[in-house]
């Protein structure tokens, strides 16, 4: 994955508006505080790292602090690591400020975000901050207002396919064609990082030409026939047995919910009110499973709602 990460701002794919503004910042040497937001795998972290390399060249390691806020998101980290780094003056070279990159900033506690706001105010002459998140609504308004916001759009399918096709050529990956690459990207849900990682994993286990079955197996995708059988089963006892067999086979309950969601939305045979009840039940079951409830019991509870919808 790191091998194909953009090295300069010019290498960033598709995000034309963001790239054009950042190029002007590079020319002037003046950089505001930044807030990058958008879906995962669209190039947010890669873009700020490429910008920092363009700014600092060989001094990149000394002048950039990168923190993953999902791991280090407490107020102590903000007060110690970030504050200590921000206090240092970048008195060498053309650029007189350092950059602090806070990845997954929407995972930071509210207290940590409040402490960060004060640090941004105090050390704005020596430090620029780049906050990266998926959900901009989880960033407190005082931080929001201090940053220039850039939305990263999902990458178009043709750009993703061409990029993966280039990687396949350079790495000698034996793929059948661009349709199968599009299938891989669809499974990765448009996430470029996940798509490249999935491609790498499939290539390692497949000695010959890569097939869609190889992709499904590595990605943990449940065969469509199994999902259809679970959704179409009209008798509760038989559906409960199918669910037990499904769990014994080692399939992921989360993945089943994801694929069932697509099947339910596409089904025009059931009434809207029943469809709404099914989707609500999916949400409740997913919430319970993420809170640590038994996967088997949660899915069997869902089975009763599926049967009643027929």
**Digit-coded pLDDT (tens) for 118-149:** 888 888 888 888 999 988 888 999 998 988 89
Contact (Cβ atoms closer than 8 angstroms) between residue 293 and residue 251:
no
pLDDT, residue 123, reads: 83
CATH architecture of 2-151: 3-Layer(aba) Sandwich (3.40)
Sheet holding 148-151, edge to edge: 64-68, 98-103, 127-133, 34-37, 148-151
pLDDT, residue 122, reads: 85
Kindly report, residue by residue over 205-244, the tens digit of the pLDDT.
776 777 788 888 888 888 888 999 999 888 889 999 999 9
Domain with CATH 1.10.8.60 in the chain: 157-219
The contacts of residue 60 (CB under 8 Å, 6+ apart) are 52, 53
Record: fold of 224-309: Zinc Finger, Delta Prime; domain 3 (1.20.272)
**Distance (Å, rounded) from C-alpha 120 to C-alpha 85?**
12
The contacts of residue 192 (CB under 8 Å, 6+ apart) are 41, 42, 43, 155, 160, 163
pLDDT, residue 241, reads: 92
Contact (Cβ atoms closer than 8 angstroms) between residue 97 and residue 128:
yes
Of these ranges, 5-9, 65-69, 78-82, the one predicted with the greatest mean pLDDT is 5-9
Give pTM, 2 decimals.
0.77
**Distance (Å, rounded) from C-alpha 276 to C-alpha 261?**
11
Record: fold of 157-219: Helicase, Ruva Protein; domain 3 (1.10.8)
Domain with CATH 3.40.50.300 in the chain: 2-151
Domain with CATH 1.20.272.10 in the chain: 224-309
- Structure-model confidence comparison of residues 12 and 285, the more confident one: 285
């Amino acid at each position: 994955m790191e091998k194909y990460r953009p090295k300069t701002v010019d290498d960033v794919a598709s995000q034309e508006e963001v790239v054009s503004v950042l190029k002007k910042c590079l020319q002037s040497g003046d950089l505001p505080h930044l807030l990058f937001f958008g879906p995962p795998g669209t190039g947010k972290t890669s873009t700020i790292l490429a910008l920092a390399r363009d700014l600092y060249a060989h001094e990149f390691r000394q002048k950039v602090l990168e923190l993953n806020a999902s791991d280090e998101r407490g107020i102590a980290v903000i007060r110690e690591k970030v504050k200590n780094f921000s206090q240092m003056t970048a008195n060498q070279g053309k650029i007189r400020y350092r950059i602090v990159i806070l990845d997954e900033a929407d995972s930071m506690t509210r207290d940590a975000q409040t402490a960060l706001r004060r640090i941004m105010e105090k050390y704005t002459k020596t430090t620029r901050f780049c906050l990266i998140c998926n959900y901009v609504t989880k960033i407190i308004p005082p931080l929001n207002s201090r940053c220039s916001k850039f939305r990263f759009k999902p990458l178009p399918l043709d750009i993703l396919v061409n990029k993966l096709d280039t990687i396949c050529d350079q790495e000698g990956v034996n793929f059948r064609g661009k349709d199968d690459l599009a299938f891989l990207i669809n499974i990765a849900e448009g996430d470029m990082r996940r798509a490249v990682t999935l491609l790498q994993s499939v290539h390692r286990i497949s000695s010959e030409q890569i097939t869609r079955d190889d992709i499904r197996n590595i990605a943990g995708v449940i065969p469509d026939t199994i999902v259809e059988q679970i959704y179409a089963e009209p008798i509760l006892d038989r559906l409960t047995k199918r669910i037990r067999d499904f769990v014994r086979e080692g399939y992921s309950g989360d993945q089943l919910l994801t694929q069932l969601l697509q099947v339910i939305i596409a089904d025009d045979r059931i009434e809207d009110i029943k469809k709404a009840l099914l989707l609500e039940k999916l949400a409740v079951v997913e919430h319970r499973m993420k809170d640590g409830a038994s996967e088997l019991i949660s899915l069997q509870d869902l089975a009763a709602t599926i049967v009643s919808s027929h």
